[in-house]
Amino acid sequence: MDNVNIISLPDKFDFSFHKEFTRRYDDSILNTDVAEIVLDFSRVNYLDSSALGMMVLLYRKAQACNKRVSVKNVSGKTAEILKMANFQKLYAFE
Amino acid sequence: MNNLIVKLLLVSNDYVVDSMLSEIFSNKNFEIDIFNTFSESQLKLKTKEYALIIVNDDMLSDDSLFKFVLENSSFYPVIIISDKDDDIFIEKYFRIGVSDYFLKPLNLSLFWNKVKKILDDNTLREKSKEESKLLGELMHQHKVEESIAYYVYKHMIGEENRPDFLNSYTLSADSFSGDIQLHSQGPSGSHYILLADATGHGLAAAISVFPLASIFKSMISKGQSAEMVLEELNSKLGDYIPPDRFISAILIEIDLYRRELKVWNGAMPTVLIYSEKMEKVAEIASENMALGILDEKDFNSELEIIELPKKGLLFMYSDGLTEQCNCSGEEFGEDRVFNKIRHSEVKSLVEDVMEENNEFRGNESVHDDISICVVDFNKI
C-alpha cells in the first residue's frame, strides 16, 4: 500500500510532538502518489487540545489536496476525547 | 578570553615580582597599572574598571590588606602574592572572597594558567550577570505588557450582574483564561448562557475568545436567534483564529415565553440536568464539533429542545475540571462530579465541587482552565 502514509503517534500526543507530526505528514501532503494519511493511535494514552488542533490542521491541508485522513487503533480515554470532539466528522475511524 | 585589552591593577612593593609580571603580561593583550601604595591604587580604582587586582605587598599590615580585599573582592577578582605561608591566614582571605593566593617564589607557568582561568570565569560570570539583568528587564516588560492585555481582556469580556439563577466559577491555569462564561438577555426576555473553552490556556487562548464575546453580546442584544449566533460564531472564528485553534462551547437558551430549554453542545463535556431530588433526568452530550472548524455547509446549529424544568438544576463544566490530576497522576474524573452533585445543595454546588477538586489537586498546579456553571431552575 504505497499510497498510504501511516503516522504512528507517541504515547503522549501533545504539542511536544508538533514539529515531528508536521514533518511526518508534510511530504505526503505534497506527494500526489499518497492518497491517504492514517494516524495510528495504538500507543497513545494521552492527548490534549493542541493535538486535536494539529489534527484539524492536517485535515484542512489534506482536504485541500483531496487526500483522505483516517485514524486507527483508537481506544479508551483517547476514543472518548475524539468522540466528544466529534472528530468522526473529519476523520474516518478504522 | 577574547582579544580585547584586559586591564590589570597590581599593588606591589616587590620590584622582582613587578618586573616578572610586567614581562608575562606584556605580550598578551594586557594593560597593567602598577602602584606601590594602596592609596594610589584606590584612587585609580574609582576612575577605571579592572579585570583583576593583584596584591603583592608584604610590607602591608594584615588589617589594611584585609580591609582592601573586603572592599574590592565583590567587584573584582583579587589575587594575593605573599611570603606568608600560614594556613589560617590564607584561609581567612579565601573566606572573604580572594580568588587565589600564591606563595613566593612564583611558579610563573602555574600563575599564568590560574590567572587565565580566573579571568575566563569572571568573564562568564559578568556575561551571566548581564544576561540575568536583561532577563529581569524582559520579565518586567512582559509584566507591563501583560497588565495592559489583562485590562483590555477584562473590559472586552465585561463583567455584568448575573441573574440569581446562575451560579458560575472559573479557575484559570494562567493569568488569562481560555474559558469564558457569558450571559445575556435578549429583547424577548430569553436568557442565553455561553460556556466556551478555547484551545490551550493563557493569553493565546484568551485572545481567541475576544471575538466570541463581542459577537455573542452584540447579536443577542439585537434579538438574533441562538442558531444564528452559533453560525456567526463558527464562521467568524473560522476566519479570525489560526487554523489549528478552535473553541469548544455550550450555548443554552432559556425561553421563558415557550417554557423551553434549548442546548447546543460542541465538543464540551455532557450537560447534566438533575431533578430537585438530585437525580439525573437528562443529559445533552456533545453532538457537534467545536466552533471555528467546519465550513458553513457542514455546521449544524440545531439546538436540542426540552421542556424547561420547574425545579432541579443544570450543571455544565469545561474538561479542565475532570482532567485535573493529583500528585499520583490520577484524574479527578466524572464520578467525583456526579457524586458531589448528588450530595450537595444547589446554592453551594459550585463551591462544593471546586473545594473537592482543589483538595484532590493538592499541591499540583492547575493544568487547564476549569469552569463550572449551574442553572438553578427553582429561581427562574
pLDDT for B3 beyond 60 = no
Q: Which residues constitute the domain of residue A34? A: 3-93
Angle, CA of B288, B195 and B285, to the nearest 5°: 35
For residue B248, give how far its alpha carbon lies from the nearest alpha carbon of chain A (Å): 8
Q: Given an 8 Å threshold on Cβ–Cβ distance, is B289 in contact with A52? A: no
Identify the domain boundary among B128, B152, B177.
B128
pLDDT band for B106, please (50, 70, 90 cuts): confident
Q: Do B68 and B173 sit in the same domain of this protein? A: no
Extract the C-alpha cell encoding B235.
464562521
Q: Which residues constitute the domain of residue B333? A: 160-379
In percent, the amount of chain B with pLDDT more than 70 equals 96
CB within 8 Å of B334: residues ≥ 6 apart: B269, B322
CATH code of B364's domain: 3.60.40.10
Residue B366 included in any domain: yes
Strand partners, B272: B283, B315
pLDDT band for B109, please (50, 70, 90 cuts): confident
Residue B44 included in any domain: yes
For residue B277, give how far its alpha carbon lies from the nearest alpha carbon of chain A (Å): 28
Q: Given an 8 Å threshold on Cβ–Cβ distance, is B244 in contact with A86? A: no
Q: Which residues of B touch A87 (CB under 8 A)?
A: 289
Q: Do B114 and B229 sit in the same domain of this protein? A: no
Contacts 24+ apart (CB under 8 A), A18-25: A18/A50, A18/A54, A21/A54, A21/A58, A22/A54, A25/A58, A25/A61, A25/A62
Residue of B283, B291, B342 lying closest to B317 (CA atoms): B283
Least confident of B128-142, B152-166, B362-376: B152-166
> Would you say the pTM of this structure is higher than 0.80?
no
* Structure confidence at residue B158 (pLDDT): 66
Least confident of A9-18, A48-57, B52-61: B52-61
- Chain A's closest residue to B367, CA to CA, is A48
* Structure confidence at residue A1 (pLDDT): 47
Strand partners, B280: B274
pLDDT for B27 beyond 70 = no
One-letter amino acid of B139: M
- Chain B's closest residue to A55, CA to CA, is B244
% helix / strand / coil in chain A, to the nearest 5?
Answer: 45, 20, 30
One-letter amino acid of B306: I
CATH code of A15's domain: 3.30.750.24
* ipTM summary value: 0.87
Question: Whole-angstrom Cα distance, residue B282 to residue B312?
Answer: 11
Q: Do B191 and B280 sit in the same domain of this protein? A: yes
* Structure confidence at residue B12 (pLDDT): 84
pLDDT band for B28, please (50, 70, 90 cuts): low
Q: Do B214 and B274 sit in the same domain of this protein? A: yes
DSSP code of residue B347: G
Q: How far is CA B240 from CA B78, B211, B243, B355, in A?
A: 61, 8, 9, 37
Residue B314 included in any domain: yes
Tell me which residue in B200, B243, B290 faces A57 most closely, judged by beta carbons.
Answer: B243
Cβ-based neighbour number of residue B125 at 10 Å: 11
Each residue of B152-167: pLDDT tens digit? 777 777 666 789 999 9
Residues 234-293 of B with CB under 8 A from A: 243-246, 248, 266-269, 285-290, 293
Residue of B167, B178, B303 lying closest to B231 (CA atoms): B303
Q: Which of B179, B199, B208, B244 to mutate to test the interface with A (most CBs of A within 10 A)?
A: B244
In chain B, the number of structural domains is 2
- Average pLDDT, stretch B197-223? 87
* Structure confidence at residue B151 (pLDDT): 79
Question: Whole-angstrom Cα distance, residue B243 to residue B376?
Answer: 37
* Structure confidence at residue B351 (pLDDT): 96
Each residue of A26-76: pLDDT tens digit? 988 988 899 999 999 999 999 988 899 999 999 999 999 999 999 999 999
Q: Do B114 and B179 sit in the same domain of this protein? A: no
Cβ(B57)–Cβ(B18) under 8 Å? no
Cβ(B199)–Cβ(B237) under 8 Å? no
Q: Do B205 and B117 sit in the same domain of this protein? A: no
Residue B143 included in any domain: no
Q: Which residues of A touch B286 (CB under 8 A)?
A: 84-86
CB within 8 Å of B184: residues ≥ 6 apart: B191, B192, B216, B217, B220, B221
Each residue of B270-326: pLDDT tens digit? 999 999 988 999 999 999 999 999 999 999 999 999 999 999 999 999 999 999 999
Tell me which residue in A49, A60, A85 faces B200 most closely, judged by beta carbons.
Answer: A49
Q: Do B166 and B123 sit in the same domain of this protein? A: no
Q: Given an 8 Å threshold on Cβ–Cβ distance, is B268 in contact with A60? A: no
Helices (H) and strands (E) in chain A, counts: 3, 6
* Structure confidence at residue B104 (pLDDT): 87
Tell me which residue in B200, B244, B289 faces A85 most closely, judged by beta carbons.
Answer: B289
CATH code of B118's domain: 3.40.50.2300
pLDDT for B57 beyond 80 = no
Q: Do B182 and B105 sit in the same domain of this protein? A: no
Question: Whole-angstrom Cα distance, residue A28 to residue A4?
Answer: 9
CB within 8 Å of B262: residues ≥ 6 apart: B226, B252, B253, B254, B255, B303, B304, B305
* Structure confidence at residue B71 (pLDDT): 84
- Average pLDDT, stretch A10-29? 92
In chain A, the number of structural domains is 1
Q: How far is CA B318 from CA A84, B157, B170, B266, in A?
A: 12, 18, 9, 11
Q: Identify which has the larger pLDDT, B49 or B188.
A: B188
Report chain B's mean pLDDT, rounded to a whole number: 89
Question: Whole-angstrom Cα distance, residue B118 to residue B99?
Answer: 7
* Structure confidence at residue B271 (pLDDT): 98
- Average pLDDT, stretch B95-113? 89
Q: Identify which has the larger pLDDT, B106 or A80.
A: A80
* Structure confidence at residue B361 (pLDDT): 95
Each residue of B187-208: pLDDT tens digit? 999 999 999 999 877 787 888 8
